[in-house]
Amino acid sequence: MFLKIINFIDKYGTADYKGINLDFVIPNTQIYNFEQNLCYLETDENIIKDKDDIFIITEEEYIKYKQQHDKDIEESKKENIQPNQQQALNAKLLKDNANFQIELDKQEELNSSLLLKIAKSGGNANA
């Protein structure tokens, strides 16, 4: 049986399973949404009807919410680069930029040398 619990965190900041026997909760099925103060879970406890703040949902509803939750977590991981990772990335970008500038300077020097040789040869590029 799949359940949705609303008002999951009480005013003291404590998780409130609303009297559900946690011994019957299927391990690792809990999905928490602290922004919306919800919890979804699967239980073997026999709950016949909805109670205050506890709603029986279908497996399809649970799966749909879990897929969206997992997708949100993955996107969040991609967006949240840790500060030390950001510093390392910045350092690498600065180093790469410096290396590109060195190569560009070398290319400009080579081009200048070639233009000078062409000018000395009277403008004949084949000389």
What are 31's strand-pairing partners? Answer: 40
* pLDDT at residue number 53: 93
Asked if residue 112 and residue 72 are part of one domain, the reply reads: no
Asked if residue 69 and residue 54 are part of one domain, the reply reads: yes
Question: What range does the domain containing 120 cover?
Answer: 81-127
Per-residue confidence of the chain (127 residues) as pLDDT tens digits? 999 999 999 999 999 999 999 999 999 999 999 999 999 999 999 887 878 899 999 999 999 999 999 998 888 877 666 677 777 777 877 877 777 788 878 888 888 888 888 888 886 656 5
pTM of the model: 0.59
Asked if residue 32 and residue 8 are part of one domain, the reply reads: yes
Measured CA distances, 119 to 107, 109, 111 (Å): 18, 15, 12
Asked if residue 101 and residue 71 are part of one domain, the reply reads: no
Asked if residue 47 and residue 23 are part of one domain, the reply reads: yes
Task: Specify the number of domains making up the chain.
Answer: 2
Handedness of CA 40, 41, 42, 44 (dihedral sign): negative
Asked if residue 89 and residue 46 are part of one domain, the reply reads: no
